[in-house]
Amino acid sequence: MPALDLPEEWLQQVLTLLRVHVPEAKVWAYGSRVSGGAQVCSDLDLVVRNASDPTRPVPEVAALREAFRDSLIPIVVDVHDWATLPPAFKPAIEREHRELQGGTPRDAGEAMS
Reported pTM: 0.88
- pLDDT for the residue 104: 74
Domains of the chain, residue spans: 8-100
Active site residues: 43, 45
- pLDDT for the residue 72: 94
Q: Which helix (H) or strand (E) holds 81?
A: strand 77-81
8-100 — its CATH code? 3.30.460.10
pLDDT in tens, the chain (113 residues): 347 899 999 999 999 999 999 999 999 999 999 998 888 889 999 999 999 999 999 999 999 999 999 999 999 999 999 999 999 999 999 999 999 999 876 554 444 33
Backbone angles phi, psi at 74, to 5 degrees: -85, 20
- pLDDT for the residue 38: 87
In the β-sheet with 77-81, what is the strand arrangement from edge to edge?
Answer: 77-81, 44-50, 25-30, 97-101
